Amino acid sequence: MDTNSTALRFLIVDDDETFSRVLSRAIKRRGYETAIAGSAEQALTMLDTFRPDLATLDLKMGGASGISLIPQLKAVNPDIRILILTGYASISTAVEAIKLGATDYLAKPADTDQILAKLNGSTPDPDVEIADKPMSVGRLEWEHIQKVLTEHEGNISATARALGMHRRTLQRKLQKRPVREEH
Amino acid sequence: MDTNSTALRFLIVDDDETFSRVLSRAIKRRGYETAIAGSAEQALTMLDTFRPDLATLDLKMGGASGISLIPQLKAVNPDIRILILTGYASISTAVEAIKLGATDYLAKPADTDQILAKLNGSTPDPDVEIADKPMSVGRLEWEHIQKVLTEHEGNISATARALGMHRRTLQRKLQKRPVREEH
DNA sequence: CACGGATGTGGCAGATTGTCGCATGGTTTC
DNA sequence: GAAACCATGCGACAATCTGCCACATCCGTG
């Protein structure tokens, strides 16, 4: 372990205040310096005074998504390690995030240890565990919707049209949390 | 469209023979040279004589998983574009695959157009507007159910359990939708 | 500023799903 | 052969969910 005189700076971007506060405290207790942003926009304004070494980003927030923040965070600090942390996890957003340079991707709920483990000891290994059960229909539907949604740059109306589904129905599905992916 | 004298070589690694054959034919029809491997091991032995430019890999096969193949394929051809294509998709394997250098990750069922779109996405292509509509959720669900049903030799009760769905609901779905395909 | 497109919501009637229950037919096990 | 299991088909009913219509905001382009 490298012992720097200054603590590593940890930025939490999430619009769930309760979640942020709890996580912040847990992380601070482990010796990090933390900061909380309630939106992507707010996070950007903080970068002048707080240059993070680690960050967790939420996807679904009022305003811009955490994914859009990845390039900007990396511009400020190319060595930053970024963990996407969201309750609306999907394969397509995970793929996009990693391609943009995120270090890892976790679905909420996740505890502090899991979060730090992903940020610290994350080395790609080809022997990941492969699910032995196929996806549930609910999960498959969620993934498919997310995929089409990203293909349409998040345009809900266009996605609904492409899927031959009523826009109202799509909105309702998106508001609900995806079925938990269990191993 | 760039006209090379030699066609791009496309490697399909999947232990589902029917799937491989259908995909191979569809891809060949679009001007690629194709090869099929039924396992990761078999794919490796082919690399001496068939150096692929594009590849789709399955995750769950007898023997090694497609993910373990990624580094080896990239060693042979650093510019190779790799698409993970699996019926046992999960976020964690998607993250690993992308970290190891896969180009993209799709959950089966996916049609040929989607597959090629993902693999060509990084190639200069002027008019990449969303060509035709993606599968409807209903159709996707139907295909998935059929696939799992087959894996369970037509056993409805077992299929319902595997899908985390109530048997009664599965019965009703099967009884109803006789398959509705159209564009 | 008017116009078209996207989005967030509320409200409803009708369709779908989650559960229970029960009966039948086939296999396996003493 | 009878008991014990399973898979399957189907009726019924309440809880959800979906398709649709109706606004009310917000943009960005003319």
Q: A–B: how many Cβ contacts below 8 A?
A: 118
pTM: 0.83
Q: Measure A13 CA to C15 C1' (Å).
A: 41
Q: Provide the pLDDT for residue A100.
A: 92
Q: How far apart are alpha carbons B165 and A137 in whole angstroms?
A: 8
Q: Measure B168 CA to C24 C1' (Å).
A: 17
Q: Measure A168 CA to D17 C1' (Å).
A: 11
Q: Do B144 and A134 touch (CB under 8 A)?
A: yes
User: Which bases of strand D sit closer than 7 A to a protein CB?
Assistant: 6-12, 17-22
Contact with chain A for residue B105, Cβ under 8 A = yes
Side chain identity at B76, as an amino acid letter?
Answer: V
Beta strand A54-57 pairing with A104-107: unpaired
Q: Element (H or E) spanning A161, and its range?
A: helix A156-163
Q: Is the pLDDT of residue A179 over 90?
A: no
Q: How confident is the model at residue B128 (pLDDT cuts 50, 70, 90)?
A: very low
Q: How confident is the model at residue B85 (pLDDT cuts 50, 70, 90)?
A: very high
Alpha helices per DSSP H over B10-136: 17-29, 40-46, 69-76, 91-99, 112-120
Q: Is the dihedral of CA A120, A123, A125, A131 positive or negative?
A: positive
Q: How far is the CA of B180 from the CAs of A142, B137, B138, B140, B142, in angstroms? A: 21, 12, 9, 11, 9
Q: Is the pLDDT of residue B180 over 50?
A: no
Using a CB-CB cut-off of 8 Å, the residues of chain B touching A90 are: 91
Q: Do A107 and B87 touch (CB under 8 A)?
A: no
Q: How confident is the model at residue B178 (pLDDT cuts 50, 70, 90)?
A: low
Which residue of A59, A96, A140, A157 to mutate against B (max B Cβ within 10 Å)? A140
| Burial of A121 from C-beta contacts in 10 A (0-12 / 13-18 / 19+) | exposed
Q: How confident is the model at residue B36 (pLDDT cuts 50, 70, 90)?
A: very high
Which token pair is A80?
Answer: 């930053």
Contact with chain A for residue B45, Cβ under 8 A = no
Q: Measure A165 CA to D14 C1' (Å).
A: 26
The nucleotide closest to B153 (CA, C1' atoms): D7
Q: How far apart are alpha carbons A162 and A170 in whole angstroms?
A: 11
Q: Do B141 and A145 touch (CB under 8 A)?
A: no
Q: Do A143 and B93 touch (CB under 8 A)?
A: no
Q: What is the pLDDT of residues A9-20, one digit of tens each?
A: 999 999 888 889
**How many C-beta atoms lie closer than 10 Å to residue A34's C-beta?**
22
Q: How confident is the model at residue B123 (pLDDT cuts 50, 70, 90)?
A: very low
User: Which bases of strand C sit closer than 7 A to a protein CB?
Assistant: 5-11, 16-21
Percent of chain A at pLDDT above 70? 92
Range with lowest mean pLDDT among A127-131, A158-162, B112-116: A127-131
Distance from CA of B137 to the nearest CA of A (A): 6
| Burial of B17 from C-beta contacts in 10 A (0-12 / 13-18 / 19+) | exposed
Q: Is the pLDDT of residue A133 over 80?
A: no
Q: Indicate left, alpha or beta for A31 from its phi (over 0: left) and psi (-120 to 50: alpha).
A: left
List beta partners, residue B160: none
